[in-house]
Amino acid sequence: MSNDIVLIGTILIIAYISSYALYRYGIMDKKVHNRIWNIIFLLIFLIAMGVGYLLTALTDLGITAIPDINLISWHSEFGIFFFFILFFHLQINWISLKKLILQTG
């Protein structure tokens, strides 16, 4: 069982740079660009959460032999997606994040 960090990262980075270029050249609206990546983020979260919940439920029920070892692999692969999408999310919301961090009480 190996994680394809380079493959997943390359695909996501190319997809993000492509959508960002479409936004910067005025072909795509910023709201559409943000919405696309927020939907991708939501879908990946739901899948990772669902698989994690299933693995936890199986463990809590005392089922030690996971029916399909690929569940653990899928869960870790979607965790890798989260790692890369975190940076895209920070880049999209950088101004809001900077205001939040630099806000004085």
Structure tokens at 50: 């669902």
pLDDT tens digits, one per residue of 4-61:
777 877 888 898 889 989 999 999 998 998 888 888 888 888 888 887 888 788 778 8
End-to-end CA distance of the chain: 49
The sign of the CA dihedral 24, 26, 31, 35 is negative
How confident is the model at residue 68, as a pLDDT? 61
68: how many CB neighbours lie within 10 A of its CB? 9
Burial grade of 94 (CB within 10 A; 0-12, 13-18, 19 or more) = exposed
Tokens 């990772």 -> residue: 48
